Structure 1
């Protein structure tokens, strides 16, 4: 049986369960595209899957990775949108295509939703076979690592900023935890609209870098964030909060919002059981919006903006395939500012 190289989980724990070895080649089915992966990227969920994967249905061994870009190797003869040799980026969300949510174009709400690198084999391998609907042409002028970086964090931020929060030029937006790819992408997208953006971080260097990228203010997370926001907005508060930290920042996030403001959350790295503060929520008529990843339509919109040169993901560092453990350590340290990319050499 033909084989390929892959990074996969053999168990749960630390880097000792992350193997780089050979796995069987995928078999392309009808309607699928076989892609030679040239670059991938890391996300916080990769650490979660390595550490425990609790609550996510999966089987071991499991190939890691959600982000991926590469070249089309095989495609159905009747496929009109994609061609052999074309440079492409993969959308890692696999919907059933039949439920009510898929039928209305919201496949990220699919009742049987699966993500590559979580429920099924991911992108950290030489080859992946995925449904043609999940494969999109790369934006012009992008390298493979930059294209792969679009597939999860910027797409998640796009849905949060535009679909959920509907950020407008006159808005002010508070973004927690700048440095992570979702928060950094949200900053870039918010500034693209012309809105004001305030960011938080405990790291002075990250705050400085965010200011250089256009943030209107950068707040030390160790400070009273809500008080700082009120000072910046003349006591009014922000229209929107973008956050993926969860429990640790929730009280400050709610107190920082203007009456009628909206908070969009896509994660809970510090815990998922914050005090609800219901009295504040109903008296001030706050809107709490959950968000996860993005649809095919939203991905197409993001790629179109990238193709026009209006958005480019920030790459923190690039690691070779063989250095996957060092790349995971970099992610676990939370020292990164942007996406950690993995580059794959020619398949042996």
Structure 2
């Protein structure tokens, strides 16, 4: 088979699309004929190299993907050849105190397929049965590939960890990205008034289409001042900030007293300066969130499959052009997810 892969960390030049040995399913694994994959910022971080991350090389990236079951291991009971499946990339031990209480993404041994172990951006892939979700007929491969990681992440962050309630005011930064555009939809679904930021009017128009009540161009306007004006100087109840160092202080300034800042990532750096005085004086809460439990992923994806949520796709590229897909993410080109498909599928 052919697979996206790299032998070492670095820039996009390390990415290759080349021959790789065909995988065979272990007892608890499913062999998938991959029809589509999708990129996330963690693909960029993994390719660049994360501190403390040690990978078996060559590494196949990809934490989002979907395809048809070809074969199953002898212990697999949920799937059979011909089934349509999508990957839910978080792997938990199933035994620790967090797993026993359904908090799989808090597992002490939690890791992510595509980030810590080989991923799904290849013509064929073997994945653990527990990490696959059934995909209904009628759902496109592009949608099935693009939705799981970002929608389960946004769902847990906003509804479980953030406890967003109807009538609250929610600011979503970077609303054009994968998690950002999912967060806009989840916040709107929860009944919140949604404020979204983006770098162009085109991106803001997309955010409005997905449920944003107010859209702020952060290239033209100071979003803190805009939030103060739009909320009568009160501020918002919740800020979704997966941007990190570049926006952290302004996110804190945008919160009303008693507000919550939710974070699931930090694309501009994970060590921002922070205003502790503002946090304690305004009684703010900083809440982290990672991926989702199995039940949360199921709940979020059911609303994708029935059309309530829509994963926007900015482009579909052959896997041989995965380097260009990485550049699109790094340059913040377009709105939504970038999908890659095996060249044999195009």
Provide the TM-score with structure 2 as the length reference.
0.94
Distance 1:159 1:141 in 2: 26
1:343 to 332, 341, 344: 341
For the Cα contact (< 8 Å) 2:320–2:343, is it kept in 1? Answer: no
Deviation at 1:82, TM superposition (A): 1.9
Distance 1:104 1:87 in 2: 29
1:154 to 151, 155, 167: 151
Distance 1:247 1:310 in 2: 33
Deviation at 1:335, TM superposition (A): 1.0
Where in structure 2 are the equivalents of 1:1-348 lying within 5 Å?
4-76=1-73, 79-222=76-219, 223-346=221-344
Distance 2:81 2:313 in 1: 28
Deviation at 1:292, TM superposition (A): 1.3
Pick closer, same or farther for the CA change 1:46–1:334 going to 2, 3 Å. Answer: same
Residues 20-58 of structure 1 show CA distances to partners (whole Å, capped at 9, x for unaligned) of 111122221112111111100011111112222333232
SS at match of 1:28: coil
For the Cα contact (< 8 Å) 2:63–2:112, is it kept in 1? Answer: yes
SS at match of 1:236: coil
Distance 2:304 2:298 in 1: 10
Aligned length: 344
Pick closer, same or farther for the CA change 1:173–1:9 going to 2, 3 Å. Answer: same
Moved over 3 A (4+): 76-80
Distance 2:268 2:333 in 1: 17
Distance 2:42 2:154 in 1: 16
Structure 2 residues not aligned, in runs of 5+: none
Distance 1:335 1:87 in 2: 30
Provide the TM-score with structure 1 as the length reference.
0.94
Pick closer, same or farther for the CA change 1:139–1:289 going to 2, 3 Å. Answer: farther
Distance 2:322 2:337 in 1: 14
- Could you tell which deviates more after superposition, 276-285 or 176-185? 276-285
SS at match of 1:125: coil
